[in-house]
């Protein structure tokens, strides 16, 4: 049974930082991409960051330069370090895993292409 369990969400003031964690079990996480999506109130699920099995990251423009994705424990744990948070970053953040084939990650623009999802962790940024 595949499980992705997120933690680290919470409330923070604008300009602050948070670090999200995702523990993966039930899959050989070193062979899949890991990613972070988010969904704010009334919004579609939006891709934020992904990291492939070689450790190469990719980011959506909305978070580039502020968020950093990483992984540890042979890929069984993924992290999202978030800094310079604004109210626009308020959302539920989801850890995801999947493979786009050929060593590539699924697109951050297509959440449907990601196979595995956690339950999410809430991040609330106040001014």
User: What is the pLDDT, as a whole number, of residue 29?
Assistant: 60
In the DSSP assignment, the letter for residue 68 is E
CA distance 47 to 96: 10
pLDDT < 50: residue spans in the chain: none
Number of H helices, E strands in the chain: 0, 11
**Per-residue confidence (pLDDT) for residue 30, from 0 to 100:** 66
Specify the length of the chain in residues.
Answer: 127
């Amino acid at each position: 049974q595949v499980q992705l369990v997120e933690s680290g969400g919470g409330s923070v003031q604008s300009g602050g930082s948070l670090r999200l964690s995702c523990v993966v079990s039930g899959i050989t996480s070193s062979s899949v991409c890991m990613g972070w999506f988010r969904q704010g109130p009334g919004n579609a699920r939006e891709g934020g960051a992904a990291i492939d099995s070689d450790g190469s990251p990719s980011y959506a423009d909305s978070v580039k330069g502020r968020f950093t994705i990483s992984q540890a424990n042979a890929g069984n744990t993924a992290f999202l370090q978030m800094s310079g948070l604004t109210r626009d970053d308020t959302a539920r953040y989801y850890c995801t895993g999947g493979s786009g084939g050929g060593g590539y990650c699924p697109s951050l623009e297509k959440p449907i292409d990601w196979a595995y999802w956690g339950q999410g962790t809430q991040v609330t940024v106040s001014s």
